[in-house]
Homo-oligomer: A and B are copies of this chain.
Amino acid sequence: MKNPIEAPEYGIVWVTAPTRTEAEAIAEALVESRLAACVSLTPIHSIYTWKGKINKEEEWQLTIKTDLRQFTRLESTIKSLHSYEVPEIIAIPIIAGSTPYLNWISESVVRD
């Protein structure tokens, strides 16, 4: 860490995808390009309104552990692979963690 502004900003990014195949393809691309240290996938049932009508879908949620300083590149990689017009891509902060695990995130994620 050279100066405070360059400290990692550990966080979790959540994305939903329509199928397990698409979720896995995005997860692998993120891990291979070192934009994420680890991605976990879970099946979910979603309920939302779209153009005034209630929709229910079976989807997959990606839980992406990363350094949020890479958020912009992560978002752009996800969008290039995602089949939705407006994919859910949201980030939540990690405020504490086991030091060896956080160090592993740092080492796994690219720094520019």
Contact = CB atoms under 8 A, between A and B. Distances in A.
Interface of A: 10-12, 16, 24, 27-28, 31-32, 34, 37-49, 54, 59, 61, 63, 65, 68, 71, 75, 79, 86-98, 100-102, 104, 108
B54 A47 contact: no
Contacts of A65: 88, 90
A46 B102 CA distance: 17
A87 B91 contact: no
B92 A93 contact: yes
Contact of A45 (B32, B40, B44, B97): B40
Contact of A100 (B11, B46, B47, B86): B86
